[in-house]
Chain A
C-alpha cells in the first residue's frame, strides 16, 4: 500500500505548481525580461551554420585588422620584391623555383611570379584593403539608404514620389559600365592627367561610387517598411501624446527598422567585396603595388596556367569569406525575423 501514496501526491504537486505559474506570470522568471534582441540572439546561438559562419567572418576581420602585427611576427612585408635580392627564388622563366608556387617554411603561401613578393603578407594586406573599402562603403550606403528611405516613407506625398522616381532611374542604371567609364573621369577631377593617382583617392572614389549606387535598394526597402509602420497604431499613440516627428522617427520607427537594416547590410558587404575586387580586376579600382584581393586575382589570372598556387590562395580565401558572410546574413535574417524562414 505504500507505492500508491507518492504517485497520488506527485500529480497533485504538479498541478499546484502549474496553477501557480500561470497566475503569477507568463514566464517562470520573476521580472526578468526577454527583449526581442535577446530572443533573436538565443535563436542565433542555436543556428550552427550561423555560428560557424560568424566565426569565419570574425577570423577574416581579425587577420585584416592585425595584418601589420602578423607581418611583423612573420618577418616579411608585401612590398619587398624578395626575388631581386635572392634571384634563386625564381627560375629562368621568372616563375617560383620551388614546388607549389614556392611554398616553404619561409614563404608560407609561396612567392609571386616575376616580382617575387611574399604571397602570405600580400594576401593579408589585400584582405585588409578590400574589407576596409567594403566596410566603409557598406556603412555609407546604409546611412544614406536609411536617411533617404525613412525620410521618403515618413513624409510621403511629393517627396516620396520624387525620391521613388530617382531610385527607379538609379536602379535601372548599368552600374558596372558606369564605374568603368566614369572612374577615370572622377580621378581626373582631382589629379592632373600626368600625375600619379594617390591610393587614398582611389579608395575614397571607390567607396563613394559604390555607395552612390548601393543606397537605392536599401532606401526603397526601408521606405516600404516605414510606409507600413507609420500607419501602425503605436505611431498614432505617440502622436496623440504629442511626440515630435524626430522622436517618432528615432524612438518609434528606427528600433523597428533595425532588423531589415542589419539583414541588408550583412548581405551587402560581401557584394561590395566582390564588386571591389571586380573593379580592381578590371583595372579601375585599386591598382598594383597596393595589395588588394582583386589585384591579386588579376595578377594570378596572368599566370594561372603555369603557377596555379598564386591564384589559388586569394581565390579560395575570397570564396570562403563571401560564402561565410552570405550564410551569416541568412542566419541573421532567420534569427531576427523567424517568420521569414524558408
Chain B
C-alpha cells in the first residue's frame, strides 16, 4: 500500500470558516477551525474509516476531498495529481473518479426527478455513453444495488429511506469511481436497514475494488467496514491505525475513552468500566493550545498545554499506527477512579 503512490494523499489539510461580523462594514472577526492540518492516505481499493463525535470536522473533511469546499491550506492529491485548488473544468477528469454518498437520503435526491434521471444525470454531465445506452446502464446499476430495474420511472418520494440510500449508491457508482467518500451513509437509517446498506457498500467495495473514505460516528460500523481507521477530535486526527490494531490497542486517551463507551451486547460479562469524559468539546473557534484534547484528558500536563503532539508512530506501535499524544496509553495503564463510570447497562 505504502510502496506505490496512494490513490488519495492528503497533507496538512486545513479549513477555516471565517466568521463575519460588525456593522456597518462586515469583516472577518474570527474563524471556525473546522479542520486543522490533516494528513492521511487512502490506498487503492482500501477503506479508511473516519470517526469522531459530531462537530469534529469529519464531514468537512469529506467535502474538502470531493472539493465541495475550498481548502484554506494544505494539499490534496489524487494519483499524484494536485487537486487542492483545481477549478471545475480542471477537475473534470478526476470528478468521475471521486464520488460521494450523502448522509440524508431524503435530501440527497432531487424530488422532481425520476430515479432514472437521477442516476443517469452524472453520465449525462460527463458525456458518458455506455454500450447499450444510458437507460440500460441505469437498470443494471439498479440491479447492482438491489432495486427493481422496473422502478426506473419512479420518483424518490415513492421509496423508503433505505431504498433511497441505495439510489444514492447507484448514482455514485454510475461514473465507475475509484474512490467514494461516504458521509455517514447509514446514520440516518433504521438500524435494521443500516446493516443492509453497509453490506451493499461492502459488496461494492470488494467486487468493484473501489476505495472508500467512510465517515461515521458509529464505531461498530466502521470496525465492520474499514480496514484502517482514523479518529478525529476537534479538527485533528488523534490516532490512525489498522482496524484490529486500533480497536485492540488504542494508544490515544481519546480513542480509549471512545472505545470504552461502545455498548456491548453481552449480559453476563464482567461489568465493564466506561471512561467518562468530563466537560464539553471546546469551541473550534478558540481551540485549546497545544494538545486539543488536554481540557478533557486525565493525563494532561504542562507539556500538553504548550506543545501540540505530532502524529507519529508511538513507542511500541506497529508500523502504520500513528498517535498524536505525549503520553500514549498502554494496556496496563489505569484511569483515575473519578473518571470511571459503571456501565449503565450492566448496572441495570
The answer to the question of A339 belonging to the interface, with a C-beta cut-off of 8 Å to chain B, is no
Given the known interface contacts A31-B151, A36-B155, A242-B126, the answer about A233 and B112 at a Cβ–Cβ threshold of 8 Å is no
Considering the complex, give the chain A residue whose CB is closest to the CB of B149.
A31
Verify B112–A256 contact, CB threshold 8 A: yes
In the assembled complex, the Cα of A31 lies from the Cα of B151 at a distance in Å of 6
Instruction: Give the residue of B66, B92, B121, B154 whose beta carbon is less than 8 angstroms from that of A33.
Output: B154
Verify A33–B155 contact, CB threshold 8 A: yes
Closest-CB distance, B103 to chain A (whole angstroms): 7
Closest-CB distance, B193 to chain A (whole angstroms): 15
Considering the complex, give the chain A residue whose CB is closest to the CB of B126.
A242
Count residues of chain A with CB under 8 A from any CB of chain B: 28
Chain A residues within 8 Å of B150, by CB: 25, 30-31
A216-261 interface (Cβ within 8 A of B): 232-234, 236-244, 247, 251-252, 255-256
A4-39 interface (Cβ within 8 A of B): 24-27, 30-36
A116-159 interface (Cβ within 8 A of B): none
Considering the complex, give the chain A residue whose CB is closest to the CB of B108.
A233
The answer to the question of B111 belonging to the interface, with a C-beta cut-off of 8 Å to chain A, is yes
Considering the complex, give the chain A residue whose CB is closest to the CB of B104.
A233
In the assembled complex, the Cα of A241 lies from the Cα of B121 at a distance in Å of 8
Verify A255–B110 contact, CB threshold 8 A: yes
Verify A241–B125 contact, CB threshold 8 A: yes
Closest-CB distance, A232 to chain B (whole angstroms): 5
Considering the complex, give the chain A residue whose CB is closest to the CB of B112.
A255
Chain B residues within 8 Å of A24, by CB: 148
Considering the complex, give the chain A residue whose CB is closest to the CB of B103.
A233
Residue among B114, B121, B148, B159 having the largest count of chain A Cβ atoms under 10 Å: B121
Chain A residues within 8 Å of B148, by CB: 24-25
Verify B158–A27 contact, CB threshold 8 A: yes
Chain B residues within 8 Å of A32, by CB: 153
Q: A33-B154, A234-B110, A240-B68 given; name 14 further pairs at CB < 8 Å.
A: A25-B151, A26-B158, A31-B152, A31-B154, A32-B153, A33-B155, A233-B102, A237-B100, A237-B168, A241-B96, A242-B96, A243-B121, A244-B125, A256-B111
Given the known interface contacts A34-B155, A256-B112, the answer about A240 and B99 at a Cβ–Cβ threshold of 8 Å is yes
Given the known interface contacts A241-B125, A242-B125, the answer about A256 and B110 at a Cβ–Cβ threshold of 8 Å is yes
Residues of A within 8 A of B (CB): 24-27, 30-36, 232-234, 236-244, 247, 251-252, 255-256
Given the known interface contacts A26-B159, A30-B150, the answer about A241 and B126 at a Cβ–Cβ threshold of 8 Å is yes
Closest-CB distance, B182 to chain A (whole angstroms): 12
**Could you write out 6 A-B pairs with CB less than 8 Å apart?**
A24-B148, A34-B158, A236-B63, A236-B68, A241-B95, A251-B113
Count residues of chain B with CB under 8 A from any CB of chain A: 40
Verify A236–B102 contact, CB threshold 8 A: yes
Chain B residues within 8 Å of A34, by CB: 155, 158
Chain A residues within 8 Å of B113, by CB: 251, 255
B59-117 interface (Cβ within 8 A of A): 63, 66, 68, 88, 91-92, 95-96, 98-100, 102-104, 107-114
In the assembled complex, the Cα of A31 lies from the Cα of B135 at a distance in Å of 14
Closest-CB distance, A191 to chain B (whole angstroms): 44
Verify B125–A237 contact, CB threshold 8 A: no
In the assembled complex, the Cα of A256 lies from the Cα of B113 at a distance in Å of 10
In the assembled complex, the Cα of A239 lies from the Cα of B12 at a distance in Å of 24
The answer to the question of B157 belonging to the interface, with a C-beta cut-off of 8 Å to chain A, is yes
In the assembled complex, the Cα of A32 lies from the Cα of B151 at a distance in Å of 8
Residue among B110, B148, B155 having the largest count of chain A Cβ atoms under 10 Å: B110
Chain B residues within 8 Å of A242, by CB: 88, 91-92, 95-96, 122, 125-126
Chain B residues within 8 Å of A36, by CB: 111-112, 155, 157
Considering the complex, give the chain A residue whose CB is closest to the CB of B116.
A33
Chain A residues within 8 Å of B158, by CB: 26-27, 33-34
Verify B68–A241 contact, CB threshold 8 A: no
Chain B residues within 8 Å of A255, by CB: 110, 112-113
The answer to the question of B166 belonging to the interface, with a C-beta cut-off of 8 Å to chain A, is no
Verify A241–B107 contact, CB threshold 8 A: no
Chain A residues within 8 Å of B122, by CB: 241-242
In the assembled complex, the Cα of A131 lies from the Cα of B63 at a distance in Å of 51
Chain A residues within 8 Å of B121, by CB: 238, 241, 243, 251
Instruction: Give the residue of B63, B99, B152 whose beta carbon is less than 8 angstroms from that of A241.
Output: B99
Closest-CB distance, A304 to chain B (whole angstroms): 51
In the assembled complex, the Cα of A237 lies from the Cα of B95 at a distance in Å of 11
Verify A247–B154 contact, CB threshold 8 A: no
Verify A237–B151 contact, CB threshold 8 A: no
Chain A residues within 8 Å of B98, by CB: 240
Chain A residues within 8 Å of B68, by CB: 236, 239-240
Closest-CB distance, A261 to chain B (whole angstroms): 13
In the assembled complex, the Cα of A24 lies from the Cα of B149 at a distance in Å of 12
Verify B153–A33 contact, CB threshold 8 A: yes
Considering the complex, give the chain B residue whose CB is closest to the CB of A239.
B68
Chain A residues within 8 Å of B112, by CB: 36, 255-256
Considering the complex, give the chain B residue whose CB is closest to the CB of A31.
B150
The answer to the question of B171 belonging to the interface, with a C-beta cut-off of 8 Å to chain A, is yes
Considering the complex, give the chain B residue whose CB is closest to the CB of A32.
B153
Chain A residues within 8 Å of B155, by CB: 33-36
Verify A247–B125 contact, CB threshold 8 A: yes
Residue among A27, A30, A34, A240 having the largest count of chain B Cβ atoms under 10 Å: A240
Listed from nearest, the 9 A-B pairs whose CB atoms lie closest are A255-B112, A233-B108, A241-B122, A242-B95, A33-B153, A233-B102, A31-B150, A233-B107, A234-B110
Instruction: Give the residue of A26, A35, A234, A247 whose beta carbon is less than 8 angstroms from that of B108.
Output: A234
The answer to the question of B175 belonging to the interface, with a C-beta cut-off of 8 Å to chain A, is yes
Chain A residues within 8 Å of B159, by CB: 26
Verify A241–B157 contact, CB threshold 8 A: no
Chain A residues within 8 Å of B103, by CB: 233
Chain A residues within 8 Å of B109, by CB: 234
Considering the complex, give the chain A residue whose CB is closest to the CB of B115.
A33
Verify A240–B125 contact, CB threshold 8 A: no
In the assembled complex, the Cα of A27 lies from the Cα of B154 at a distance in Å of 10
Considering the complex, give the chain A residue whose CB is closest to the CB of B66.
A240
In the assembled complex, the Cα of A35 lies from the Cα of B111 at a distance in Å of 9
